[in-house]
Structure 1
Amino acid sequence: MWSIISAAGWPIWPLIFGSVVALAIVLERVWALRKKDLIPENLVADVCKTLPQFKDRQNIARLESHSALGSLMAAGLSAFYKNEDIETAMQDKSVGIQNALEKHLDVLSMIASAAPLMGLLGTVIGMIEIFAVQGSGAQTPEAIAAGIAVALYNTAFGLIVAIPALVAYRLFRIRINGLLEDMGNSLKPFEDLLKQHTNSCKAG
């Protein structure tokens, strides 16, 4: 393996670096996008049962730090007790949560897009070096064929990096969309309860 890397030349090193970064992002996002930590079971029901306790801002702060779902509910509660627009507050918070869920995905997408081009660049540079050798007897056909094979290692490695990175990026996007949808569905009882209390206060 080391001999292949050495023969492929310097263009392969950015690809190796990109593969390490892509792997680190994949592992970090797999850990960060665990549903049980982002959308804990029974959290909405527990908050709805103890709604008056969240007049205390410390309880809202604890809820906000609890999970992504908790931070959305905390935004709604904070707006509710300040007589502000609940829906707007929760929508603003949801934008921040979505950005947090999508953290580093732009880098992963860039690696998936750039890796094939980096591999192609390595191949072109390698072939230029092969055919730039002066003298008719400097290279045998066998040596030229071996050199071309080495140059193509860059293209192959670029695809090896790009394909898994692209698949991981698309799977993470699907995962995030699913999490956001589940979060919105989980919040419906909570939103309905806040609306009922708001309407009661206005009627009173």
Structure 2
Amino acid sequence: MLSLIEAAGWPVWPIIFASIIAVGIIGERMWSLRQRVVVPRDLLPRVLNEYKRSGVTLDMISKLQQHSPLGRIFAAGLQNENSPREIMKESIEEAGRVVTHDLDRYLTTLGTIAALSPLMGLFGTLVGMIEIFGSNSPAGSNPAQLAYGISVALYNAAFGILVAIPSMIFYRHFRAKVDALAIEMELQALKLVETVQGERRSTSVPSI
């Protein structure tokens, strides 16, 4: 591997640096965007059972805020339990926008790496071409410099594409996953609103 880097020359180092950042982002997002971490399947039933049993308490709100992104959305809605439906939904939507922004973290950087890596490879190719032209002189061409220029041109182009392809694949994958998680959180939050508001209506109707 070291011999390949040496053959690619100094222009390959920005590509290597970008690849390290891309791998770090991919690993971090794969860990952070797990379904059970963002949208736990059992959270809504547990919240509804606790709400029906003891109502909204400060302890419940505090635990939800620290539990998961979905828990933060539930906490925002339950904090406005006694407000009209529109106010409760607005608070949930505001919390949802903040949570979605957090889920998008680092994806812009990953997309930028996917777009710039081929350009960095092209830059290395141009450097290699300059080396190739520099090998020609009135006294003849320098075979060593010619070979070095060709290796710089080819290796940088290859490394740039090699970094760009997986970066773009994972960028699009994570974007689609964030959209799917956002929709799932919205649906579960709506179920929470319907249940809480339904409970309020049923308790507020006077008996005859």
Aligned to 2:126: 124
Aligned to 1:45: 45
Instruction: Please give the residue correspondences for 1:13-24 in structure 2 after superposition, counting only pairs within 5 Å.
Output: 13-24=13-24
| C-alpha contact 2:7 2:148 (8 A) present in aligned 1 | no
Matched, 1:29 2:29: yes
Instruction: Please give the residue correspondences for 1:81-92 in structure 2 after superposition, counting only pairs within 5 Å.
Output: 81=82, 85-92=87-94
How far has the Cα of 1:141 moved from its partner? 6.5
| C-alpha contact 1:127 1:147 (8 A) present in aligned 2 | yes
Q: Which of residues 181, 195, 198 in structure 2 aligns to 1:196?
A: 198
Q: Distance in 2 between matches of 1:191 and 1:151?
A: 60
| C-alpha contact 2:131 2:145 (8 A) present in aligned 1 | no
Matched, 1:12 2:12: yes
CA 1:39–1:81 in 2, change beyond 3 Å: closer, same or farther?
A: same
Q: Distance in 2 between matches of 1:23 and 1:44?
A: 34
Aligned to 1:75: 76
| C-alpha contact 1:54 1:77 (8 A) present in aligned 2 | no
User: TM-score, with normalisation over the residues of structure 2?
Assistant: 0.88
Q: Which of residues 108, 111, 134 in structure 1 aligns to 2:113?
A: 111
How far has the Cα of 1:10 moved from its partner? 1.4
CA 1:85–1:198 in 2, change beyond 3 Å: closer, same or farther?
A: farther
Q: Distance in 2 between matches of 1:188 and 1:126?
A: 58
Instruction: Please give the residue correspondences for 1:131-150 in structure 2 after superposition, counting only pairs within 5 Å.
Output: 131-133=133-135, 135-139=137-141, 144=146, 147-150=149-152
| C-alpha contact 1:130 1:148 (8 A) present in aligned 2 | yes
How far has the Cα of 1:187 moved from its partner? 3.0
Identity, in percent, stands at 37
How far has the Cα of 1:146 moved from its partner? 5.7
Q: Which amino acid in structure 2 is aligned with residue 67 of structure 1? A: S
Aligned to 1:155: 157
Q: Secondary structure at the match of 1:85?
A: helix
Q: Which amino acid in structure 2 is aligned with residue 178 of structure 1? A: A
User: TM-score, with normalisation over the residues of structure 1?
Assistant: 0.90
Q: Distance in 1 between matches of 2:145 and 2:138?
A: 13
Number of residue-to-residue matches in the alignment: 204
